[in-house]
Amino acid sequence: MVRHMTREEIFGREESLVKKVGNQGCCYLGKIVTYPAGRYEESGSVYLDISSPHCMLVVGKRGTGKSYTLSVLAEGFGMLDTDIRERIAVLIFDTMSVFHSLKSPNTNLDENKRLGDFKELSPRDFREFVKVFLPKLAIEKVKEEGKELDFDEVLVLPLSEINVHDWLSLLDLKPTEPVGVLLVRVIDSLLGKKEAFGYEEIYKTMEQEKADENVKNSLLNLFRMIEELKVFDRHGTPFEEIVKGGTISVLDISYLGRIGGFDVRNLILGVLGRRLLSERTLYTTLEMQAQAHLIQLDDRSNIGKDHPLVYMVIDEAHLFLPASQKTLASDVLIDWIKLGRHPGLSLIMATQEPSALHETAFRQSDIILAHNVTANDDIAALGKAKQSFMSGSKDIQKIVSTMEFKRGLAVLFDDKTRKIEMVRVRPRMSLHTGIDASALRK
């Protein structure tokens, strides 16, 4: 019993490293749940490594606590020791404006009371680490309505980061149709100059190309529609602002869900993910060479902060990496999943339906946190993707069949160490605002 009280489980970390550094660089996730003599009991603590590369998956039906758990993890980054935190940049793709509230302390009385049972935590905000980025259109819309909005920076991406394939796919054009042919020529020509360019240059280059007037007009109209979205321009939000060691960047793209019929959200993720992959890969190569004394890196003291490891957090991940079709973000995400660990690129993805998410995400993820997976289909889906979960010493079916509905209850799997544990995710210190809209009065 006493041993139980102090049991500490660390997920995502090999035993040898645990012996050396313990739970340093981990997020305190909550308590271990057991059923001694069939009675529900919470004890000990569960930690999750968030300072080395991982591919994590959070699954569960609507309203079971996925976004909540993602926020608990974000708070975990905010609570890391300064020197570790500054070597990590967190990038949250927020499709429902739920992560702004990391900037406010939790005001839910019930949660605040329970918080004390979890290592005596108390409500607080994470304002100093969180930066909210919003697209111009969303800001203008709110201003139009005479309302105030709290945000830190405008989210704009440079036109020069969008390649020919992105454009074809965004505008739904084939490289063999006349408009597609013109588009390829225009973009190739502009990208070839290796300089920043705006819509003026796009229109001018288009004018100079030889093509049918109808074709030119069609492409012109498409570009004007893109221009109106105000998401892409000559100069973007400085990349170093979006991806910064020690900062949790919340990219609120909720307003951009298939706006004007264009899948802008996926393009944003695709562009940023691709840029990070190439930068981190190059940097890792340099770092390896420096370690081998082949080259000398100038300012070693700043390395962590200027070239942080990156954690990309994607809520509603099936929108970006669906099982059934390809999006503008699919290839980049699959690259991150398959190649990200070496250059230090991590993913935390949440989805309502395991089967709606691309299989690669399941097969390759090393940590899965499943909220209230009581349905046999879901358990079977998890088992199919990860056979190791079924062959461990503990029978997952048995664990899950005893599971009841409690807020924050989840099964946590570690693919590397083959650990399985039932966990009660702790209440948040900052405010949660993910409650579904309701017409009912409080």
Ligand X SMILES: Nc1ncnc2c1ncn2[C@@H]1O[C@H](COP(=O)(O)OP(=O)(O)O)[C@@H](O)[C@H]1O
In the region spanning residues 378 to 417, those forming contacts with ligand X, defined by CB under 6 A, are 407-408
62 binds, among ligand X, Mg ion, none (CB under 5 to 8 A by kind): ligand X
Q: Which listed residue (427, 429, 430, 431) binds ligand X by CB under 6 A?
A: 427
Binding ligand X (rule: CB under 6 A), the pick from 75, 94, 111, 161 is 111
Spell out the residues 6+ positions from residue 417 whose beta carbon is closer than 8 angstroms to its own: 11, 13, 14, 15
The smaller minimum CB distance to Mg ion, of residues 9 and 252, is found at 252
60 binds ligand X (CB under 6 A): yes
Q: Rounded to 10 degrees, what is the CA torsion of 426, 430, 431, 436?
A: -50
Interface region with ligand X, contact rule CB under 6 A, candidates 21-29, 57-65, 162-170, 321-329: 57-65
Judged by CB under 6 A, the residue of 425, 429, 430, 431 near ligand X is 425
- Pairing mode, strands 409-414 and 419-425: antiparallel
Distance, CA of 100 to CA of 371 (rounded, Å):
23
Q: Of 72 and 190, which CB lies nearer to ligand X in the complex structure?
A: 72
Nearest-5° angle of CA 32, CA 18, CA 277?
Answer: 100
105 touches, from ligand X, Mg ion, none (C-beta below 5 to 8 Å by class): none
Q: Which of 3, 19, 20, 62 binds ligand X (CB under 6 A)?
A: 62
Cα dihedral across residues 306, 311, 315, 319: positive or negative: positive
Using the rule CB under 6 A, is 434 a contact of ligand X? Answer: yes
Distances (CA, A) of 195 to 158, 183, 192, 198: 11, 18, 8, 10
Nearest distance, CB of residue 216 and ligand X, angstroms: 46
Nearer to Mg ion, 66 or 100 (CB): 66
Question: For the window 162-181, what string marks contact with ligand X as x by the rule CB under 6 A?
Answer: --------------------
Distance CA 106, CA 430 (A): 4
Tokens of 305: 């902060």
Scanning the structure block, which residue is given the tokens 């370690």? Answer: 291
Q: Is the Cβ–Cβ distance between 56 and 347 less than 8 Å?
A: yes
Q: Out of 51, 67, 266, 330, which residue is the one contacting Mg ion (CB under 5 A)?
A: 67
Interface with ligand X, residue 63, by CB under 6 A = yes
Among 435, 437, 439, 440, binds ligand X (CB under 6 A): 435
Find the part of the chain contacting Mg ion (CB under 5 A) among 38-46, 65-73, 151-159, 372-380.
65-73
Q: How far is the CB of 242 from ligand X (least distance, A)?
A: 24
- Using alpha carbons only, how large is the chain's radius of gyration in Å? 23
Distances (CA, A) of 177 to 185, 231, 411: 12, 26, 50
Which window, 61-69, 215-223, 245-253, 335-343, contacts ligand X (CB under 6 A)?
61-69
Binding residues for Mg ion (CB under 5 A): 66-67
